[in-house]
Amino acid sequence: MKYDIYFHDDFDGRASAAVMLDFLNSRGDEIEHFTHIDFDIQDQYFKDNFFSSHKFFKGKRNPPIVVDFPYHPKTAFWFDHHTTAFKREDWKKQFHSSKNYRWDEHYPSCCHFIVNSLSKDFGYKPSKIILELAKWLDVIDAARYSSAKQTILNKEPALKVNLFIEDGMKGITEKDFIKLLASKSLIEISKNKLVEKVVKKNKIETKNGLKFYKKNIKIYGSLGMIFLKKGKYTSLRFAPFYFYQNLRYFLRIVEDKNKTFGIGLGVNPWNKNKNKIHIGEFLKENFLGAGGHHEAGGAGFKTKKDLELAIKKIIENFS
């Protein structure tokens, strides 16, 4: 049987898709279309007919799978670990946990959650490659790094692969990259010429980026904030805590090429004991389509006016 898979546009989303691919292939099924999605399509996604009406690809639509993204009732499989997984109350009331539909907010990564769910419910036997992937996604998606310095040096293979993803994965399709994640070790993938090229470029950009961050970070009490262009120094998300260890929160604003805006709000992983605000719930309650976890979340805005209002509200609550 053929499926289409939709996944959050980050490493955890792609790793989750790789697990689903490996699982489905093990029982003779396959995935035809691989589509990353993010909160900028919320107006489309939360419609009942999203899977039949979207324009992401042409041709026949297969039963959809969604991973690491909010619930949609028209899916064949759905897995998520975000506390803000249910955006429509009517869909939330309809939801019933089953083998094909699982949600658990306590997992640090959706990748790890899917591995465990499929193993328990379907007898799936993950390879060492998949288990390694899940282990590292727990670190990356839940920001369980040993230090801010580790995120700047990016010496580990998994962190090098993450750099490649954040750089836009130039030179490879989503389908081919996710096949790599499902079949090759992170060490092997990190030695791919496309990845090595990005890592080499990143070393130069990191040096310039640290200077940029140090100069442009704005501090509002316990909150730090910076404004970035898409793809420009975005891998240095923990640099603020490298310079300012006492910061409790950081707000990163990224302007996309189409002049829309995405924000990421997170707690300092090395100073989070004082965090009493559930960031994901705060964002969900205040901004349409937003959400996340207790310690991190994101939102998208179509206009600068909406962004400015959001920044004001965040400063009021987190400074």
Q: How much is the pLDDT for 231?
A: 66
Instruction: Quote the percentage of the chain above a pLDDT of 70.
Output: 98
pLDDT digit string, tens, across residues 6-33: 999 999 999 999 999 999 999 999 999 9
pLDDT digit string, tens, across residues 131-170: 999 999 999 999 899 999 999 999 999 999 999 999 899 9
Span 268-278, average pLDDT: 80
Whether the predicted pLDDT of 257 surpasses 90: no
Model confidence at 235, in pLDDT bands (50, 70, 90)?
A: low
Span 87-98, average pLDDT: 95
- Domain boundaries for CATH 3.90.1640 within the chain: 2-190
Span 73-101, average pLDDT: 95
Mean pLDDT for the chain? Answer: 93
CATH second-level architecture of 2-190?
A: Alpha-Beta Complex (3.90)
CA dist 216 to 43, 99, 111, 239, 296, Å? 33, 48, 34, 12, 22
Q: What is the CA radius of gyration of the chain?
A: 19
pLDDT digit string, tens, across residues 175-232: 999 999 999 999 999 999 999 999 999 888 898 889 999 999 999 999 999 998 876 7
Residues 6+ apart with CB under 8 A from 49: none
Closest CA relative to residue 81, chosen from 111, 40, 122: 111
Whether the predicted pLDDT of 125 surpasses 70: yes
CATH topology of domain 217-318: Diaminopimelate Epimerase; Chain A, domain 1 (3.10.310)
- Domain boundaries for CATH 3.10.310.40 within the chain: 217-318
Whether the predicted pLDDT of 266 surpasses 80: yes
Q: Where are the alpha helices (DSSP H) in the chain?
A: 11-26, 42-45, 50-53, 89-94, 110-122, 128-141, 148-153, 157-166, 174-183, 186-190, 193-216, 239-243, 279-286, 304-318
Q: How much is the pLDDT for 276?
A: 77
Whether the predicted pLDDT of 275 surpasses 90: no
Tell me whether residue 10 is exposed, middle or buried, using C-beta atoms within 10 angstroms of its C-beta: 0 to 12, 13 to 18, 19 or more. Answer: buried
Q: How much is the pLDDT for 272?
A: 72
For the question of whether the overall pTM of this predicted structure is more than 0.75, the answer is: yes
Q: How much is the pLDDT for 258?
A: 78
Model confidence at 274, in pLDDT bands (50, 70, 90)?
A: low
Closest CA relative to residue 126, chosen from 112, 138, 140, 139: 112
